[in-house]
Copies of this chain bind each other. A is one copy, B any other.
Amino acid sequence: MTRRAATDQATSARRTVEDLLQRVQHRLTSFLAAERAHYAEVHEHAVVAIDALADLAAAGGKLLRPAFCLTGYLAAGGDPAEPGIVDAAAALELLHISALVHDDVLDDSRTRRGKPAVHVLHTTLHRTRGWQGESRRFGEGVALLVGDLALVYSDELMAGAPRGAFAEWHRLRSEVMIGQYMDVAAAAEFSVDPDLSRLIALIKSGRYTIHRPLVLGASAAGRTDLAGALAHYGEAVGEAFQLRDDLLDAFGDAARTGKTAGLDFSQHKMTLLLGWAMQRDSRIHDLITEPGHTPDEIRARLLDTGVPADVEQHIAHLVDQGCAALADAPLEPQWRAQLTDMALRVAYRDK
C-alpha cells in the first residue's frame, strides 16, 4: 500500500485514536492537579515534584505509547467509551515521563521537550541559591525522586485499567529497566557487537514503544489471539523506530527534536548505526572514545561509510516487514491501514 492510500483509509480510525488521546492528556492533567491539591495542603515543598511532572506532561510529547495502546485496543474491538483504557494509556505516558527524567540523568542530557532537563534545572537552582551540599547531587537527586514519583503515579493510573492489560504491563516495565541497564553497560564497555545492539534496541525501544503497548491494548479488549501478529509488527516497526532515533541523534535538528543532539557520541552509545559503521571503519571507534573530536568530524566519517544510507534502506524494509506481519491477522481494513500509517509516521518522523 502506498503512503497516501494508507493515510486516507486510516482517517476515521485515526480520528477515533486522536479523540481518545485528548482524553488521555486530560486524564493526566486532572490526575496531577488532584494530587497537587492534596499535597498543597501539606507544605509548599510537597508540590515541587508534582509540578515538574505536570510541566513535562503539558510540554506534550509524541504520545506514541498511548497511541499504540489505544490502537491495539480499538483494532481488537475494544469499546472506546471504557474509561479504563484511557487510564492505561495515561499510565504508559507517565511511565515514559519517568523514563525520560531518569534517562536524562543517565545520559547527562541537558534539554528535554525543549526545556532544561529536570536535573539540569535543579542543579542550577541549587547553585544559584548557594544551598548546602553539592549542586550536582541535589539536581540529580531531585530528578531521581521526580522520576520515582512518575513511576508510582503511572501505576496508580494503571489500577483503573481492564484486568487483561496487567500481564503485559508488568513485562513491559521490568523489560524497559533491564534494557536500560544493558544499554548503559554496553556504552561503558563500548565493544562493537551489532547483535547486542540489536537486542538492546529490540528490548528498550521496539517492545517498550510499540509491541507491548499494542498487545497491552489488545489484551485489555480481551483479544490475546492478536498478540503474535502485533508482536511481529511491533518488533519490526520498533527496530525502524530505534534506527530513526539513531539517525536523528546523529544528524537531526535539536531545535526540532527538543533533545540534545549528538548524545550517542558523547555518551558512547553502542547504537546499531554506530556498531555497523565501526564494523566498516574502525577509526570511528577512536573518534568517539578519544577526546577532542567534534560531532561534525564524526558525522562526516559516518557518512563516508555509507551506513546511514543503508540504514535508511533497512528502515524501509522493516516497515514493509512489519506491515506484512498484519496481512493475515483478523483486523478490520481501517485498523490495518491505521497501523500502516503509524509505522510510516514513526519510521519517518523528524523529531
Contact = CB atoms under 8 A, between A and B. Distances in A.
A80 to B, nearest CB: 26
Given A145-B181, A190-B131, A166 B159 contact: yes
Nearest to A146: B181
Q: How many copies does the complex hold?
A: 2
Interface string A236-271: 000000000000000000000000000000011000
Contacts of A126: 188
Contacts of A43: 182, 196, 199
A245 to B, nearest CB: 19
Contacts of A50: 178
A27 interface: no
Nearest to A270: B132
A174 B153 contact: yes
Contacts of A142: 181, 184
Interface residues of A, number: 58
A57 interface: no
A196 B129 CA distance: 20
Interface stretch (A82-90, A100-108, A340-348): A100-108
A170 B149 CA distance: 11
A12 interface: no
Contacts of A106: 137, 141, 144-145
B173 A267 contact: no
A49 interface: yes
Nearest to A190: B132
27 contacts: A42-B199, A42-B203, A45-B182, A45-B185, A46-B182, A48-B185, A98-B148, A105-B144, A106-B141, A132-B187, A132-B188, A132-B190, A132-B289, A133-B187, A133-B267, A144-B144, A144-B147, A145-B180, A145-B184, A148-B151, A148-B180, A149-B174, A149-B178, A149-B181, A152-B170, A152-B177, A159-B170
